Amino acid sequence: MTVDVVVIGGGIVGCACAYYLSAAGLKVQLLEKGAIGSGASKAGMCHIVTWEEPPIHVKLEMASKKLYAKLTDELPVDMEYRPTGSLALIQNESSYIAMRDLVIRLGQSGHRCEMIQGREMRQLEPLLAEHVFGGALFHDDVQVNPLLATQAFALGARRMGGLISPFQAATGIILNAQGTRIEKVRTEKEDIPTKYVVNAAGAWAGDIGKMNDLVIPIIPRKGHLAVTEPLAKGILCHQTLFSAGYLDAVSGGDELAIACNIQQTQHGNLLLGSSRQFAGFDTTVEPHVLSKMLKLCAHYFPFLKTVKILRTWAGLRPYTPDLLPIISPVPWIEGYMIAAGHEGLGITEGPITGKLITQLILGEAPAFPIEQLAFTRFMPD
Ligand SMILES: Cc1cc2nc3c(=O)[nH]c(=O)nc-3n(C[C@H](O)[C@H](O)[C@H](O)COP(=O)(O)OP(=O)(O)OC[C@H]3O[C@@H](n4cnc5c(N)ncnc54)[C@H](O)[C@@H]3O)c2cc1C
């Protein structure tokens, strides 16, 4: 069957693209080599971030947050959307100053955020360790369950006529004889004639690029996570907590980087993260990484030492060298779009990415300027 758009990748980004493209009246087929959400999107935490810089990220984050608030009513699956806010845990004075500068900048553009002194921190979170220097509250952050959000987009797309094809990998992208235009996407089962392809294959976007000699500089950045037994609601007063060192872990180099991220889900389980390392496509859980991560979480909340861990896993964040996603056409191949490379912000930025790709395909002006996200930024001058 001929379609308008083939989306490759059934993570949050691909499913959001399929949803908004279908809502715009286009005939869409989404190909996913495994189950829907089986890549990074089932491995992520729940945090919809609204403050992580640079400014283009903040734009994407805020736009997505607004979309999520509407999507909870629009989509056919409850994605456990909750306006939780988040609390940063600051360890020392220099981190406090850096965070205060961020809070001032964000406050000037209308964000609801504030700094918290050390003593007040224990009033806000009674189980917090004594050594925490201070904190910052980000009132606009929310939580969603990443796997449910991904499935919600897929089901929403299907209800609007989209074809959702799990366990069907793209094996080739066929261009016209001149190599300038998309003609078909090949799978083991069929060739699918289409005008547009959206490469939304997350950490695998580079492999999809190779099918047409495109060098897409996205590599996997492994992240571990642990899930605890369900705990009483209210054991933590804030459902999303993270050490301010998280930002250093994101921008860190090749070394293993660990930060403290703690989120309590709607069902009471705590998600304990997070780690960052470059280890190819290996998703084995490494005891030494897990142990470092759990020790750091317990350093901030000592009661965690006695809490039972139910499950652990590792997933692959799609990393780009400048930590910005690629949301862009490939200018020399008509119909080729890339929507990948969101690293640790894909759950947050999935919805707006789906919207922007839809606007690009419809030939509409994007919701805001996105030149910084162009694929061509990685081309030699
Ligand atoms: C531990 C951890 C915690 C995280 N926490 C957060 C958080 O709190 N907030 C946040 O915003 N983000 C978070 N993230 C990041 C987030 O999970 C990712 O950025 C996001 O899931 C990326 O989505 P994606 O759709 O681009 O990629 P993926 O979900 O990986 O989807 C890509 C899909 O493409 C498929 N694919 C590959 N090759 C082919 C092919 N040939 N044919 C068909 N399909 C193919 C893969 O199977 C995969 O399912 C976290 C990540 C990790 C690992």
Taking alpha carbons only, the member of 273, 278, 305 closest to residue 290 is 273
Query: What is the rounded distance in angstroms from the CA atom of residue 199 to the CA atom of residue 209?
Result: 8
Strands (E), 82-140: 86-90, 113-117, 134-138
* In a shared domain, residues 180 and 329: yes
The 10s digit of each residue's pLDDT in 286-343 is 999 999 999 999 999 999 999 999 999 999 999 999 999 999 999 999 999 999 999 9
Please name every residue paired with 319 in a beta bridge, in sequence order, or none if there are none. 219
Cα(285) to ligand 1 centroid in Å equals 17
Contact assessment for residue 369 and residue 358, using Cβ atoms and an 8 Å cutoff: no
pLDDT score recorded for residue 331: 98
Token digits of residue 62: 């805020």
Pocket-forming residues, ligand 1, beta carbon under 6 Å: 8-14, 31-34, 38-41, 43-47, 169-170, 200-204, 208, 223, 225, 273-274, 315, 317-318, 340, 342-348
| Residue 335: predicted pLDDT | 98
- CATH number for the domain harbouring residue 190: 3.50.50.60
Assigned domain for 135 exists: yes
Same domain, residue pair 125 and 262: yes
Same domain assignment for residues 150 and 33: yes
Residues 161 and 198 occupy one common structural domain:
yes
Q: Give pLDDT tens digits for 206-239.
A: 999 999 999 999 999 999 999 999 999 989 999 9
Average pLDDT, the chain: 97
Q: What is the mean pLDDT of residues 181-206?
A: 98
What Rg, from alpha-carbon coordinates, does the chain have? 21
Same domain, 151 and 269: no
Judge if 57 and 96 occupy the same domain: no
- Distance from the CA of 317 to the center of ligand 1, in angstroms? 6
Which has the higher per-residue pLDDT, 237 or 246? 237
Do both 239 and 338 map to the same domain?
no
Confidence of residue 246 (pLDDT cuts 50, 70, 90): confident
Q: Which pLDDT score is estimated for 147? A: 98
Region for residue 56 given its phi and psi (left: phi exceeds 0; alpha: psi -120 to 50; beta: otherwise): alpha
Nearest protein CA to atom 19 of ligand 1, as residue? 346
Statement to judge: residues 26 and 117 lie in one domain: no
Instruction: State the amino acid at position 169 in one-letter form.
Output: A
**Is residue 251 over pLDDT 90?**
no
Mean pLDDT of 135-161: 98
Average pLDDT over residues 18-43: 98
Distance, in Å, from the CA atom of 360 to the CA atom of 369, rounded to the nearest integer, reads 12
Read off the pLDDT band of 14 (50, 70, 90): very high
Q: At 117, is the pLDDT very low, low, confident or very high (cuts 50, 70, 90)?
A: very high
pLDDT of residue 247: 84
Are the C-beta atoms of 21 and 195 separated by less than 8 Å? no
Q: Give the β-pairing of 309-319 and 219-230.
A: antiparallel
Distance CA 235, CA 313 (A): 24
Regarding whether 152 and 17 lie in a shared domain, the answer is: yes
What is the extent of the structural domain holding 213? Answer: 3-76+146-217+322-378
Q: How far apart are CA 3 and CA 8, in angstroms?
A: 13
**Tokens matching residue 78:** 């409850």
pLDDT band at 54 (very low <50, low <70, confident <90, very high): very high
3-class SS of residue 238: coil
Please state the atom number of ligand 1 nearest to the C-alpha of residue 316. Answer: 53
CATH number of the domain that 99 lies in?
Answer: 3.30.9.10
The reported pTM is 0.98
Average pLDDT of the residues in 251-275: 94
Q: Is residue 81 part of a domain?
A: no
Query: Is the pLDDT score of 151 beyond 80?
Result: yes
Asked if residue 370 belongs to a domain, the reply is yes
pLDDT for residue 381:
76
Ligand 1 atom at minimum distance from 169 CA: 42
For residues 334 and 239, give the distance between their C-alpha atoms in angstroms, rounded to a whole number.
45
User: What confidence tier does 380 reach under pLDDT thresholds 50, 70, 90?
Assistant: confident
> N- to C-terminal Cα distance for the chain?
40
If asked whether residues 301 and 233 sit together in one domain, one would say yes
What tokens appear for 272 in the block? Answer: 């304990």
Whether residues 315 and 278 fall in one domain: yes
Mutate to test the pocket of ligand 1, among 12, 264, 357 (most ligand atoms within 8 A of CB): 12
pLDDT digits (tens, 9 = 90+) for 55-104: 999 999 999 999 999 999 999 999 999 999 999 999 999 999 999 999 99
Is the residue at 277 inside a domain?
Answer: yes
* pLDDT band at residue 138 using 50, 70 and 90 as cut-offs: very high
Query: What's the domain count of the chain?
Result: 2
- Do 171 and 252 reside in the same domain of the chain? no
